[in-house]
Structure formats: structure tokens, C-alpha cells
Structure 1
Amino acid sequence: MGASYWSYFVEYQPDLGKALDELRARVFEEGDYWWAEPYEFDRSAKDFPNRPRTEDELWSSESVQESGTHSILDMHEMVRPGEKPDFGTVEPVSAAEALRCAGVTRLTRAHVGQIGDLAEQRWFGRCAVLHDDGGKPSEIYFWGFSGD
């Protein structure tokens, strides 16, 4: 099957960890992730009436443990300042990365295409705070690749 690209925009809040948790809860509730009977690759969890009711139930599936969900659900926590990214973590874009990729430190939606390559490893997510035309934080962009 291979890894899948995923991306999400959420309303800005200063606590990126909380934003990640809320996004994960929403994606799980909506069934917008891969979970299926073996070899049912073109369907998402929302296509199955018997899909898991909890994340614990989701992750108890051997196929999900082996292949992931091909969604933000494969990311479990934010990288804290000073920590190195690890499997299943989301790393915020630094000001230096934004400047190198987009020529600015305050990213907007218009810069999303310029920072996309920062998610270069599978099973590691990225996020960026995006700003409105007035320079105020307005949303958070999460993206990455996961799944096998």
C-alpha cells in the first residue's frame, strides 16, 4: 500500500499539543482514517459501520498496528522545544526553516507549498502556525506521511 500524505488546517490556538489532540479526536470521530478489513485499501473507516468506538480499540487491530491509519492519528505528540523528533511525533516549523523555505518568518496559507518538503520522513509529522494578512496567527497546518 505505501505511505499516504495527509494534511489538515485547524483554527489557531497557542497550545499546539492541544490543537493536535483536538484534531486527532475530530478525525477519529469523523472516521477519516484508514481502518478496514484486510486488503480493503480504497475505503476509510467511515465506510464500515462496525468501525472501532475508541482509539484503544482501533490500535488493538493487528492491521492498524502494522500499517497505521494513514492519517494524523498516527501522530501521538508534539515535539517539545529542545527535543528531537521521534516516530509518531509532530515537529513545529522553526522560524529559521520558514525563512529558508519561504523567505519569511510569519507563514501564511500562501506559503504552504513552499514548506511541504519539510515533512521528509514517513511517520514524522510537521505543523506550522499560519498568519492572516495582518500578521496575526489564524490557523495551524498539520501535514506528513504515514502508513505502510
Structure 2
Amino acid sequence: MGASGWSYSVAYQPDVAAALRQLRQEVYDRGAYHREEPDPTYALTEEEFRATLDPAHDDSGINEFLLDDWRAAQRRPRPVDPDSLFAAQPHSGTHSVIDMVNGVSDEPAPGTVSPLTDEQLLAYFGTVHPAPDEVLAWLKSFDPYPIRERWQGVYVVSYLDGRPGQIHFTGFSGD
């Protein structure tokens, strides 16, 4: 499938980590994320799954690999919140902010959102206090590759009348 870009804007609050947690929960509650199609073999018992394996592959180890993969899938949690959803589909991710499982960091890191530096804010907006409409326009054309890798996000605080007004989250994740 490849990675997907995502962007969200929320009301400003001083605790960016709390805003991120709340946003991840809201995205989960709305169902606004990629959900892996369930593999019908995961509903089988182990005995039933073994019966589907080709005996010709016993010597090559393929059947044992498939059985190990099936067992690992059986141990994955059933999604009840953003974190368990991500844990249930660790290879594909959710193609949303839910994939930012490690929260907020000062520097770019896997599974986190981090702020733009003052230098980046000046380069993108000409100010360290961009207006909401400037950030929204930037988000529409933003290419994260020069400053972030896949599975990393960015946040920008926008200002209205000199006061923080919104937090904008963007990034790209998923496989």
C-alpha cells in the first residue's frame, strides 16, 4: 500500500502530548484510519490451520514459518484503543496519527511528533508565530521527506492575535 500522509488541526493547549493523546483517541473513535482486512485463517483453530498447510513444504521450513506467523497473530491484542490497534497491525500501521505511538519528542524519532525548529519556522513562514491560515496552506503542499522520515510526524503551533490558537499535526506513516 505504501505510506500515507495525514494532517490534523486541534485547539491549542499547553500540553502538546495531551493534545496528541486526545487526537489519537478521537481518530480511533471516528474509525478514521486504515484497518487491515482480517485474515480468515486467523479464525481457524491451530488444528484447522495445520490442515491447510501443504505437506510438500515440511522439509523447507515454510510450514513452520507460516505456523509461527499464525501463532503470533493469535497473540496480538484485539483493538480497544489507539495503542492496541497499532499493536494489532504493527507491520501496516494505521496510516494516521494513531501511528505516533511514542508521543512527543524534541527531535525527530520513530513514532513521534516533534516541533519544527525556529529556523524551519522562519524558512517556511517567515516568522516563529505563523497564523492558522499560513499553516493550513503549508500543510496542503508540505513534503515531509526533507525534514522527517516515514513513521515520524511534525507539529506546528499557529497564532491568532499573538496568542497560540491551534496545534497542527502532520506526517506520513504506514506500509
TM-score by shorter chain over 0.5: yes
8 Å Cα contact 2:25-2:81 kept in structure 1: no
Distance in 1 between residues matched to 2:82 and 2:168, nearest whole Å: 23
SS at match of 1:131: strand
Q: Could you say which residue in structure 1 is the equivalent of 2:166?
A: 139
* Structure 1: gaps (5+ residues): 40-50
Deviations 1:33-77 (A, max 9, x none): 1113159xxxxxxxxxxx83334542343xx21110000010021
Partner residue in 2 for 1:79: 105
Mapped partners of 1:146, 1:135: distance in 2:
33
Distance of 1:124 and 1:33 partners within structure 2: 16
Q: How many equivalent pairs are there? A: 131
Specify the SS of the correspondent of 1:6.
strand
Give aligned-pair identity as a percent: 41
**Residue type of the alignment partner of 2:20:** L
Task: Give runs of ≥4 in structure 1 deviating > 2 Å.
Answer: 51-57, 109-120
Query: In structure 2, what is the equivalent of residue 47 of structure 1?
Result: none
1:105 is paired with a residue whose SS is coil
Q: Show the counterpart of 1:52.
A: 79
What TM-score do the two structures reach when normalised by structure 1?
Answer: 0.79
Call closer, same or farther: CA 1:96–1:131 in 2, change over 3 Å.
same
Larger radius of gyration: 2
1:30 Cα offset (Å): 1.1
C-alpha distance in 2 between matches for 1:56 and 1:24: 9
Distance 2:125 2:83 in 1: 39
Mapped to 1, the partners of 2:108 and 2:2 lie a distance apart of: 22
Distance 1:117 1:97 in 2: 13
> Structure 2 regions of 5+ residues with no counterpart?
40-77
Cα distance, 1:56–1:107 mapped onto 2, change above 3 Å: closer
Correspondence 1:30 to 2:30 = yes
User: Aligned in 2, Cα 1:104/1:23: closer, same or farther, shift over 3 Å?
Assistant: same
Alpha-carbon distance, 1:102 to partner: 1.4
Distance in 1 (alpha carbons) for counterparts of 2:150 and 2:84: 24
TM-score of the pair, normalised by structure 2: 0.67
Instruction: Say whether the 8 Å CA contact 2:86–2:98 is kept in structure 1.
Output: no
Displacement after TM superposition at 1:93 (Å): 1.7
